[in-house]
A and B are shown apart, each in its own frame.
Chain A
Amino acid sequence: MSEIGTSTPVPSSAPAVEVDGLTKRFGARTAFEDVSFAVQYGEVFGFLGPNGAGKTTTVRTLGTLLEPTSGRATVAGLELRPDNGVEIRRRIAVMPEAPGLYLRLSVAENLEFFAGLYELDDRRARIERALRAVNLTDRADELCRTLSKGLRQRVGLARALLSDPRVLFLDEPTSGLDPVAAREVHDLIETLRSRGVTIFLTTHRLAEAERLCDRVAIMNTTLRLIGSPAELRDRLFSKSVELRVREPLPDPERVLGALPGVESWSAGPDAAGTYLLAVADPDQAASAVARAVVDAGADLLALTPSRHSLEDVYLQLIDTDVEASSR
């Protein structure tokens, strides 16, 4: 029996999802506007943004639940058009934020229903495979109303995996889960990624996106930024090294100002004896800085490259938006 994510052949060159100038309005309200991006097959693509940024509406639009107001998109090789709706939905799976299970039915009965809606052959085998993928084989006969929130989320994932979708849309899959349950979902997404499943992941959890996603897009009605987490960090923050010495340097400009690879320096904001150095390459600069500080007779306490997280990138971007909108 094949494993989840390995049985659906996918075209290699065309993107799994390609969006060009897509806009969705509800009357006068704009949910998202002029959004363009592409997701390659086998990629885990993170879709980030504050509440009301248009993330879920984008997923619903790409999942053919909502019709775009303007723009074009291709999903799983098919143009997003009304007459392609059924075929697109056959090729994708969407797991909404709330798993939406029939609580009076058992886990297996829920999956059996959806297997019927996808007109799947060998349903029993597929259900077993999906349950095995989320470690729920022993819960197949339990009613969904008796399951914890984390287990329900896993049933929702199993349901999304049933049809071996070419593109899997996960809308906040760890929302409301405790850390252990969230980690189980992360592990599952990593397993799916290793098997080449294309995942479009909407999330609020920036650490989750940083850990799981090959690339992320940050939305705030319009697409603000797109790239790998490392690219986004580089784009928004200059690289720097933080230097800590026991006593403040008597003439820091003499010690730090002319070092190769150090573009500029400033005194650290928190404590005397701390300096922030803007550098081109933190690794190269660090050894030169260490030598210079020791040669100057100072006691070196720490020399650390500054690490900006995806959260820093996100907050920087959203803060900019908030400032711009308040002007």
Chain B
Amino acid sequence: MTSTTPMRLSHTRIRAIVRKELRDYRRNRFVTSSMGVMPLLFVVLPIIDIFKLGSGASGPKLDNVIGLALLYLLLIPALVPAVVAAYSVVGEREQGTLEPVLTTPVRREEFLLGKALAAFLPTLAIAYLMFGIFLAVVGLFAHQEVVTDVFKTSRILPQVLFTPLLAGWSIWAGIAISSRVSDVRVAQQLGTLVSLPPLAVTSLMGFGVIRPTVGLGLVLGAALLVIDIGAWRVVSMLFDRERMISGIKA
């Protein structure tokens, strides 16, 4: 049963969900390893590739390696939250905690927003931290031509801009899948799969197929933002308490 009265979201309830989720994640080995090991891989591999470049690497090769490195780093906000978000609803169903939660005054929008924020905040922190580590290592130890290329605005801006937006997409896609399937592993596999398409555009920019300009970055960023907000609304509408509890659509 859902409310049709004008919606007033409760910050208290959303905060309660975020805090609970973060506590739960910290004690869940699968989540901590996904959030810890996967990002490390995605930062170590590009650093190795960059250091393999000789001092006289040609322009196209330099472009390719740096583009690939930055793509690796964008896999962090795309893949890390997908795993967690895919667990969010179906995981609650599997452990029998969904019903007690849904019998409280929490609205579905609050429930889903709390879940999304709990996946978003650590993802953002980890992704920016990894990017910071990458920049620091490159800035300190790479050849000058690599440093100059990596530190261009057109390289850094998409990274900074798209990290939260890609995470947002992955999270909503993961939660949508998590709300519709009945098995955690299926949810995680599908969640990972659907988190990848937005990477196509950013990787085209990273590889220079689409000329990355500040304007284009902002337009794509705005588009992703609209998609993310829309996804929250769509996922909320699709979240059917009755189906969640009984397994049968109302």
Closest CB in chain B relative to A158 CB, distance in Å: 12
Q: Is B104 an interface residue (CB 8 A)?
A: yes
Closest CB in chain B relative to A315 CB, distance in Å: 29
Q: Is B107 an interface residue (CB 8 A)?
A: yes
| With contact pairs A86-B107, A102-B24 given, residues A116 and B97 touching in the complex (Cβ less than 8 Å) | no
CB–CB A66/B24 < 8 A: no
**How far is B27's CA from A300's CA once the two chains are assembled, in angstroms?**
72
- Give a binary string over B1-40; 1 marks a CB under 8 Å from any A CB, 0 the rest: 1111100001011011101100110011000000000000
CB–CB A113/B16 < 8 A: yes
Question: What residue of chain A has the Cβ atom nearest to residue B99's Cβ?
Answer: A96
CB–CB B15/A66 < 8 A: no
One of B95, B101, B105, B246 near A26 (C-beta < 8 A): B246
Q: Is A103 an interface residue (CB 8 A)?
A: yes
Closest CB in chain A relative to B161 CB, distance in Å: 33
**How far is B74's CA from A85's CA once the two chains are assembled, in angstroms?**
41
**How far is B103's CA from A90's CA once the two chains are assembled, in angstroms?**
9
**How far is B248's CA from A156's CA once the two chains are assembled, in angstroms?**
26
CB–CB B15/A83 < 8 A: no
**How far is B196's CA from A145's CA once the two chains are assembled, in angstroms?**
36
CB–CB A102/B102 < 8 A: no
One of B10, B15, B106, B245 near A65 (C-beta < 8 A): B245
CB–CB B12/A119 < 8 A: yes
Q: Which of B96-141 contact A (CB under 8 A)?
A: 96-107
Across the interface, which residues of B come within 8 angstroms of A246, CB to CB? none
Across the interface, which residues of B come within 8 angstroms of A57, CB to CB? 246
Closest CB in chain A relative to B230 CB, distance in Å: 24
CB–CB A85/B2 < 8 A: yes
One of B1, B19, B248 near A64 (C-beta < 8 A): B1
- Give a binary string over A116-154; 1 marks a CB under 8 Å from any B CB, 0 the rest: 111100000000000000000000000000000000000
**How far is B23's CA from A26's CA once the two chains are assembled, in angstroms?**
37
Q: Is A311 an interface residue (CB 8 A)?
A: no
CB–CB B103/A65 < 8 A: yes
CB–CB B3/A86 < 8 A: yes
Other than A85-B1, A112-B16, A113-B19, give 19 A-B pairs with Cβ distance below 8 A.
Answer: A26-B248, A65-B241, A67-B250, A86-B5, A89-B105, A94-B100, A96-B96, A96-B100, A99-B96, A100-B96, A100-B98, A102-B97, A105-B24, A117-B16, A117-B17, A117-B101, A117-B105, A118-B104, A119-B13
